[in-house]
């Protein structure tokens, strides 16, 4: 038996598991990478597009909208000539990002 209390993993009423919901909130194929990217500081749309490799602009936009709605990232249009838009992690997003980094370490360490 482990130290923490193994409570109900899914809500008896809604049948929803908070952890599964959180992981789903992290997004699909590119969500985690996107979040991990932003742990390095704010980035523009095209920068993200290039950093994430083969992601389509459609999917990237959708993912950004979801994260924004969840309060994980902030969207701030710059008023320069190129009309770029900067995306950055909110405090809440950074907290999640910190856990993501542990996932990164775990995948490297091969415990």
Q: Which residues bind a second copy (CB under 8 A)?
A: 1-2, 4, 6, 9-10, 15, 17-26, 29-33, 36-37, 39-41, 51-54, 91-92, 94-97, 99-104, 106-111
Give the relative orientation of helices 57-69 and 31-38 as an angle to the nearest 10 degrees. Answer: 70
Residue 67 burial (C-beta neighbours within 10 Å; 0-12, 13-18, 19+): buried
Question: Of 81 and 109, which has the nearer Cβ to a second copy?
Answer: 109
Structure tokens belonging to residue 90: 């909110």
- 70 φ, ψ (degrees, to nearest 5): -85, -5
Identified binder of DNA from the candidate list 26, 30, 73, 96, rule CB under 7 A: 30
Q: Which residues bind DNA (CB under 7 A)?
A: 27-31, 44-47, 54-59, 61-62, 64-65, 75, 82-85
């Amino acid at each position: 038996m482990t130290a923490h209390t193994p409570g109900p993993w899914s809500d008896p009423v809604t049948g929803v598991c908070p952890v599964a919901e959180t992981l789903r909130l992290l997004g699909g194929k590119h969500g985690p990478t996107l979040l991990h990217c932003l742990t390095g500081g704010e980035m523009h749309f095209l920068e993200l597009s290039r950093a994430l490799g083969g992601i389509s602009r459609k999917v990237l936009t959708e993912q950004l909208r979801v994260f924004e709605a969840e309060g994980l990232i902030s969207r701030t249009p710059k008023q320069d000539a190129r009309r770029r838009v900067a995306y950055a992690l909110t405090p809440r997003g950074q907290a999640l990002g910190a856990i993501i980094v542990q996932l990164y370490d775990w995948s490297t360490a091969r415990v």
